[in-house]
């Protein structure tokens, strides 16, 4: 009903996909064909025109998503929605996403600058229709600038830097329960690691305020999670050619963060999943090589404790005081006076938490992705045609860390970890950046140099004929340089490994089925302990470990697992246990990254001391057996629009108009078809899913398949808002036409863009 009223009031607001149009930007005429799913097939005369075409299509189909990204990165949301967005804008201005992007722009190579300039011109040319959200809010679209592409990449880096929230949680445990509890509860923090206990009364308020600001920010932008990608060479396929699969896991936002696109020209060819906000294809192929990505989880971000001088301008450094750079940022606020945010930048990085009350303690942020360094990487991977050229493009990527899986037409497969890794000094306290460290101790700060690119993990043509990543550890402990400790439990990696090694007849359909697999490898480790308890019913004893939506044993298992995790955490850290099992640092977001590492911790504790935990496990089983219904009746998926989380009448209206679901959904965080369960809210809708699925048949590119959990458009009245959702739910995909022979057969509409006469 609300959707109908909105359409009657504001109209369908659909872009034009047919005819001819004169636009400023492309060097030569370009054609945008669209297939039955609205996927654009861009025929452009040059790389620059390709970038323009992608920007134009993003502008047509994702106008509000682009506006939201633009305002989040620049810290200008309050100008659109009013004072409620001020905490988000203040955090964005303190961190300085756009400020850092401006410093990085001069370091870009000329070809990438040209691509970003063309993409931006395309965005501005494509956004001719004001989207419904802006019409309701009474806002206008801000002009897109090429620096915005870099700023959005830095926002993504902040979201995917999975260590800063772990640092905050560890600090919380340390302050509330002490170093022994921290060593007992954190699987990455060994008991022999030293702990610097900061003055709790002093840092506590700053920690609370920073946590609040960060969680408000993530409530709008979404949080990152895990992902899967894998490849096999021809020895394991029915065709003798490599296959590559990828399903990046992000929040269940609508529209998807990804946008499917294809482009071809005299000297370029690319098809795959672009990320809205830039011209790069992050996962796809170019007719020579294929690639897919997962979060690499290099620890590239640290928090530092800072002591401020009474003058509010200096921070302690050694035995002296260091003058901070001070920048005053003016934030426009809808319906209110502008607000001036005073940003202080220390030698470590910007101060991100405000001074609270009489405290002189605060927190600064040090991150590789805030440093002005050359960038290529995911923006330019499509230019490579060989493994060596692929690695050359990967050499410069000071943004979000990624694990890339690769395959090529010559039969090779490979892995390359992407991203800068800092070198931490180890003279004071924790040398691994697991806790916020004292900025006043110079020996606690980072070295000036980075880990050399040649030492970053990579592999080509593995002996076993397969390679896979699932946010697990890159190399064995102690091998190679230190790159981080906060990896996700390895159960998805175990399941993928077992599956790939088990057969030599892989094809596209079997890869798609593997992406939908919901068997939990954790059951193999937990089942022996569960069977030692009393009263285990036969349906659970004989369960195969598949977390299908229609499974009753899956519902019992998940309730038992969650209750067990909570009881162990509450015993080991009685004051901070909620944060340990994943509570968001405020009520505004439902979880922190730590909730994806609790199952492995539980298994390790049970191996060492099962009898200690037997009573807790037995009580957890009693509660689990009272669970009613199937797992899908307990566990559901809702695809949500960002503004549906705004609360109040606006959020409720947006949810009813824009959201999809709920639908029953199986799985949890430990299965390949990831659908995370939050220990504190096990029946809440899952909020981390495969935000895109892709299977590429290397060499037979037309047989490759893609799908999004929604569709190409962000407009609920577009036929392409939800048309891929049923396919995605079934694990199926759509082809992307790319050859001159395929495009005429696939096209449903054609738009010709021409430079002005």
pLDDT tens-digit readout, 710-728? 999 999 899 999 999 999 9
Question: Is residue 225 within 8 Å of 596, Cβ to Cβ?
Answer: yes
DSSP 518: -
Residue-level pLDDT at 305:
85
DSSP 334: T
For residues 322-330, average pLDDT: 95
Answer yes or no: is pLDDT of 504 > 50: yes
Residue-level pLDDT at 218:
54
What the block records as the tokens of 370 is: 């805030």
Q: What are phi and psi of 176, to 5 degrees?
A: -90, -35
Name the more confident of 402 and 207. 402
For residues 526-541, average pLDDT: 96
Closest CA to 123 of 148, 150, 156: 148
Residue-level pLDDT at 128:
92
Name the more confident of 146 and 646. 146
For residues 208-214, average pLDDT: 54
pLDDT in tens, 401-417: 999 999 999 999 999 99
Q: What number of H helices and E strands is found in the chain?
A: 24, 28
User: Band of the pLDDT at 60, cuts 50, 70, 90?
Assistant: very high
Question: Is residue 443 within 8 Å of 304, Cβ to Cβ?
Answer: no
CA-CA-CA-CA dihedral for 91, 92, 96, 97, to nearest 10: 150
For residues 157-179, average pLDDT: 76
What the block records as the tokens of 11 is: 């109209």
Residue-level pLDDT at 676:
85
pLDDT in tens, 251-309: 898 999 999 999 999 988 999 999 999 999 999 999 999 999 998 888 898 888 888 89
| Bridge-based pairing state of the strands 258-264 and 289-295 | unpaired
Question: Is residue 430 within 8 Å of 195, Cβ to Cβ?
Answer: yes
Among the residue ranges 70-84, 380-394, 585-599, the one predicted with the least confidence is 585-599
CA distances from 420 to 161, 299, 450 (A): 12, 9, 7
Closest CA to 349 of 385, 390, 315, 383: 315
DSSP 346: -
User: Band of the pLDDT at 199, cuts 50, 70, 90?
Assistant: very low
Residue-level pLDDT at 579:
75
Residue-level pLDDT at 303:
86
Residue-level pLDDT at 695:
98
Answer yes or no: is pLDDT of 496 > 50: yes
Residue-level pLDDT at 429:
38
First-to-final CA distance of the chain? 46
Answer yes or no: is pLDDT of 588 > 70: no
| Bridge-based pairing state of the strands 660-664 and 289-295 | unpaired
For residues 171-182, average pLDDT: 78
User: Band of the pLDDT at 178, cuts 50, 70, 90?
Assistant: confident
CA distances from 290 to 38, 270, 335, 474, 555 (A): 23, 10, 49, 21, 38
Q: Which residue has the tokens 């009031």?
A: 9
Residue-level pLDDT at 757:
77
Answer yes or no: is pLDDT of 69 > 50: yes
User: Band of the pLDDT at 162, cuts 50, 70, 90?
Assistant: low
Q: How far apart are CA 581 and CA 561, in angstroms?
A: 12
Question: Is residue 115 within 8 Å of 279, Cβ to Cβ?
Answer: yes
Q: How far apart are CA 508 and CA 244, in angstroms?
A: 9
Answer yes or no: is pLDDT of 209 > 60: no
For residues 603-616, average pLDDT: 94
Closest CA to 636 of 660, 661, 604, 613: 661
Mean pLDDT rounded to a whole number for the chain: 88
User: Band of the pLDDT at 647, cuts 50, 70, 90?
Assistant: low
For residues 89-108, average pLDDT: 95
Among the residue ranges 427-436, 570-579, 699-708, the one predicted with the least confidence is 427-436
Secondary structure of residue 382 in the 3-state scheme:
helix
Q: Which residue has the tokens 């490579």?
A: 384
pLDDT in tens, 746-756: 999 999 999 99
The Cα diameter of the chain in Å comes to 82
For residues 77-103, average pLDDT: 93
Answer yes or no: is pLDDT of 461 > 60: yes
For residues 537-565, average pLDDT: 96
Residue-level pLDDT at 225:
58
Name the more confident of 441 and 559. 559
Residue-level pLDDT at 223:
54
Residue-level pLDDT at 436:
80
- Cβ-Cβ contacts under 8 Å for 18 (sequence gap 6 or more): 749, 750, 751
Rounded to an integer, what is the distance from CA 582 to the centroid of its chain?
17
Answer yes or no: is pLDDT of 590 > 50: no
pLDDT in tens, 107-133: 999 999 999 999 999 999 999 999 988
Residue-level pLDDT at 490:
85
Answer yes or no: is pLDDT of 530 > 80: yes
């Amino acid at each position: 009903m609300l959707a109908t009223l909105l359409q009657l009031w504001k109209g369908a607001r659909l872009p034009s996909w047919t005819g001819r149009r004169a636009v400023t930007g492309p060097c030569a005429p370009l054609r945008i064909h669209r297939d039955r799913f609205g996927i654009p097939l861009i025929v452009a005369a040059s790389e620059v025109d390709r970038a323009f075409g992608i920007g134009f299509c993003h502008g047509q189909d994702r106008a509000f998503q682009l506006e939201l990204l633009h305002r989040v990165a620049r810290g200008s949301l309050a100008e659109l929605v009013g004072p409620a967005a001020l905490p988000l804008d203040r955090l964005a201005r303190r961190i300085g996403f756009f400020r850092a992007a401006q410093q990085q722009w001069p370091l870009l190579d000329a070809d990438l600058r040209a691509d970003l300039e063309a993409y931006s011109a395309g965005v501005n040319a494509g956004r001719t229709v004001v989207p419904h959200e802006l019409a309701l809010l009474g806002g206008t679209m801000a002009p897109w600038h090429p620096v915005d592409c870099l700023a959005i990449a830095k926002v993504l880096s902040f979201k995917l830097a999975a260590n800063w929230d772990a640092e905050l949680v560890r600090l919380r445990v340390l302050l509330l329960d002490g170093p022994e509890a921290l060593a007992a509860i954190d699987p990455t923090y060994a008991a022999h690691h030293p702990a610097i206990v900061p003055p709790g009364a002093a840092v506590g308020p700053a920690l609370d305020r920073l946590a609040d600001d960060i969680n408000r920010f993530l409530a709008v932008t979404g949080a990152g999670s895990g992902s899967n990608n894998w490849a096999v060479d021809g020895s394991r396929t029915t065709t003798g050619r490599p296959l590559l699969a990828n399903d990046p896991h992000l929040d269940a936002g609508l529209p998807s963060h990804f946008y499917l696109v294809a482009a071809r020209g005299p000297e370029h060819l690319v098809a795959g999943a672009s990320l809205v906000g830039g011209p790069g294809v992050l996962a796809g192929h170019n007719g020579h090589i294929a690639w897919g990505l997962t979060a690499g989880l290099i620890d590239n971000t640290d928090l530092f404790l800072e002591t401020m001088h009474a003058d509010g301008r200096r921070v302690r450094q050694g035995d002296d005081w260091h003058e901070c750079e001070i920048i005053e940022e003016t934030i426009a606020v809808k319906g209110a006076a502008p607000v001036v945010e005073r940003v202080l930048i220390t030698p470590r990085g910007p101060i991100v938490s405000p001074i609270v009350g009489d405290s002189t303690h605060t927190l600064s942020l040090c991150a590789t992705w805030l440093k002005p360094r050359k960038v290529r990487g995911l923006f330019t991977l499509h230019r490579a045609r060989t493994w060596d050229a692929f690695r050359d493009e990967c050499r410069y990527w000071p943004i979000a860390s990624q694990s890339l899986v690769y395959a090529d037409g010559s039969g090779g497969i490979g892995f390359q970890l992407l991203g800068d890794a800092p070198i931490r000094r180890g003279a004071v306290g924790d040398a691994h950046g697991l806790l916020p460290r004292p900025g006043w101790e110079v020996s606690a700060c980072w070295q000036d140099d980075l880990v050399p690119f040649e030492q970053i993990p990579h592999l080509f043509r593995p002996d076993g004929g397969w390679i896979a990543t699932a946010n697990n550890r890159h190399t064995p402990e102690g091998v190679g340089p230190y790159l981080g400790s906060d990896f996700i439990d390895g159960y998805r990696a175990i399941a993928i490994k077992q599956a790939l090694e088990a057969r030599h007849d892989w094809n596209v359909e079997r890869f798609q089925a593997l992406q939908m697999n919901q068997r939990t490898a954790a059951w193999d480790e937990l089942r022996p302990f569960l069977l030692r308890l009393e009263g285990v019913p036969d349906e659970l004893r004989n369960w195969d470990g598949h977390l299908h939506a229609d499974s009753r044993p899956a519902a019992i298992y998940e309730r038992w697992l969650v209750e067990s995790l909570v009881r162990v955490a509450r015993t080991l850290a009685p004051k901070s246990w909620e944060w340990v099992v994943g509570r968001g640092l405020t009520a505004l977001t439902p979880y922190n990254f730590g909730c994806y590492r609790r199952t492995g911790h539980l298994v390790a504790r049970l191996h060492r001391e099962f009898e200690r935990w037997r009573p807790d496990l037995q009580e957890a089983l009693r509660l689990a057996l009272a669970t009613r219904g199937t797992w899908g009746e307990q566990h559901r998926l809702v695809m949500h629009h960002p503004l549906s989380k705004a609360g109040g009448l606006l959020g409720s209206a947006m949810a009813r108009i824009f959201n999809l679901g709920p639908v029953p959904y199986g799985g949890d965080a430990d299965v390949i078809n990831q659908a995370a369960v939050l220990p504190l809210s096990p029946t809440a809708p899952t909020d981390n899913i495969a935000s895109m699925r892709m299977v590429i048949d290397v060499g037979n590119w037309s047989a490759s398949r893609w799908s999004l959990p929604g569709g190409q458009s962000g407009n609920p009245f577009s036929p392409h808002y939800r048309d891929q959702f049923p396919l995605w739910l079934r694990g199926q995909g759509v082809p992307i036409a790319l050859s001159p022979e395929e495009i005429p057969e696939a096209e449903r509409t054609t738009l010709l863009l021409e430079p002005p006469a």
